[in-house]
Amino acid sequence: MPADLIVHGGTIFGIHGVDALAVRCGKILAFGRSADILRLRGPETRVFPLEGRFLMPGFFDGHVHFLKVGLDRTFFVDLSQARSLGEALELLRVRAEARPGEWVVGRGWDESRWPERRYLERSDLDRAVPRQPCCAVRVDGHMMAANTLALARCVRPEGQFIDRDRGHLWEEAVAEVLSLVRPERETLVEAAAEASRYAASLGITSVADMASPQDFSTYQVAERRGLLRTRIFAYLPAETLPQLASVGIRRGFGSAILRIVGIKAFVDGSIGAKTAALLEPYKGEMSRGRVLLGRGELARLWRKVMEAELQMAVHAIGDRAIEEVLAAARLAGVGFHDRHRIEHLELPTPAQLERLKDLGLVASMQPNFLQWSGPGRMYEDRLGPARDARIDPHRWVLERGIPLAFGSDGMPMGPLYGIGLALAPPHPLQKVTVEEALLAYTKGAAYAAFAEDEVGEISPGKWADLVVLSGDPAKTPWEKIQVEATFFAGELVFSR
């Protein structure tokens, strides 16, 4: 039986003295020297020449909100490029016409770049979009303009972050209106397809998705229609646990493309919003943030997750939140081989990392968060320089042999960007090697989702989910590296 695909003539990540690989029925059949592998060629075999480029397993984004990535690209109207107030209104009008009856939601407008030099107002939006609810969030995310129909759905009293006359909303009122926006099923399916296309262009072939029940049902439709070219390993909110348990849905339920892995729980918020739970107060304040789910309650939930044979993924950013997770894991009787995961893990102390290792927890981290670290940046502003210097401690995690998975949390999605920051972090002590970074974004993330037997590595029997990079990262400056082609189950799904 000949191969369906042969990729040859380049460097293959992690395998020395080998430059070719053969694929059959979507899976890796063999690798070796070109002369040997090309013998598997038949009349139907597709041959893809690497021409000296670099072949590696497709990236596995270890923490993302996949549908949101798609919605950002399909449903929300990007107003950031509008050169005038009139142009912004025109973009909203065109969208409203294309999708009658649906919410029209703009994002990213910036009046300081417009000749009119004034905010969007209710009367402007009423003129452009008279027959359906419409709102538009300012570039900073803290302010929104809304039309009459959108304002009518917002019940908060006048004056509480809302000026109905001008149609302006701020802060929590912005979040409230956005929570009312419910795209149609078809819009959601289209967003899932777009997220998958976009992922392929970034070299991503698998994701661990922190999904809502609605996201998961959308993915099912998208998969049935053949629109998913990304494997989705889903983690559902804790509220869904009773239903999953009652029908006996365990870790791994689903297909080769879409499956349920575990439950996601939150122990704290974020550093940016000063809601991450810290052992010491935020810089210049009394507040230490908030623990949303204490150790006792978390331990009870954790036990139920284990009884249901699901995996636990706990969001914990601040050192006090991490303390609660470690204590809860002990109370719940988590064993070294159970492989549960801690999401973000931004501010652990070295002593906490020792305990984390003993509990066999996986560190699911997002190197792109380093964009906010360093002198004058947000983390330093919130935490002071001493704590900023130990944020996202990838080196400490690796040194202790803690399993490390890299992801993006969609801020933004894109492994090349995140890896760039991990290779040259603001605090060089935490620097990782390019090999360590590539492993965390492939094999490490696959291990974190119990998928290491299927993806994340180039070896016979694994899915032929592959990415071609423009050069060997060991020999090329990282900024010069580009994604050139992506294969999903042996099928070319992206090519530059």
Q: Which is nearer to Zn ion, 210 or 232 (CB)?
A: 210
How far apart are CB 233 and Zn ion at their closest, in Å?
Answer: 14
- The CA–CA distances, whole Å, from 358 to 329, 335, 337, 439, 445 equal 11, 9, 10, 22, 20
Quick count: other Cβ atoms within 10 Å of Cβ 194? 19
How many C-beta neighbours within 10 Å does residue 172 have? 11
CA–CA distance, 447 with 405 (Å, rounded to integer): 8
In one-letter notation, the amino acid at residue 275 is T
CA atoms within 13 A on the CB side of 365: 28
- Nearest-approach distance from CB 179 to Zn ion, in angstroms: 17
The label of the residue with tokens 């698998």 reads 206
Instruction: Tell me the residue nearest to Zn ion as measured from the CB.
Output: 409
Is 111 or 409 the residue whose CB approaches Zn ion more closely? 409
Please, which residue, 317 or 353, has the CB nearer to Zn ion? Answer: 317
- For Zn ion, which is the closer residue by CB, 366 or 486? 366
Judge contact between 28 and 462, C-beta under 8 A: yes
Cα 251 to Cα 63, 155, 213, 290, 307: the distances in Å are 17, 41, 16, 30, 11
How far apart are alpha carbons 302 and 305 in whole angstroms?
5
Q: How far is the CB of 264 from Zn ion (least distance, A)?
A: 8
**Least Cβ distance, residue 225 to Zn ion (angstroms):** 27
* Minimum distance of Zn ion from residue 316's CB (angstroms): 12
Nearer to Zn ion, 122 or 344 (CB): 344
The least CB distance from residue 63 to Zn ion, in Å, is 6
Q: Which is nearer to Zn ion, 210 or 363 (CB)?
A: 210
Q: Which residues bind Zn ion (CB under 5 A)?
A: 210, 409
Q: Of 344 and 462, which has the nearer Cβ to Zn ion?
A: 344
Q: Would residue 214 be called left, alpha or beta, if left means φ above 0 and alpha means ψ between -120 and 50 degrees?
A: alpha
DSSP per-residue codes, 371-408: GG-STTSHHHHHH-HHHHTTSS-HHHHHHTT--EEE--
State the nearest-atom distance from the C-beta of 277 to Zn ion, in Å. Answer: 16
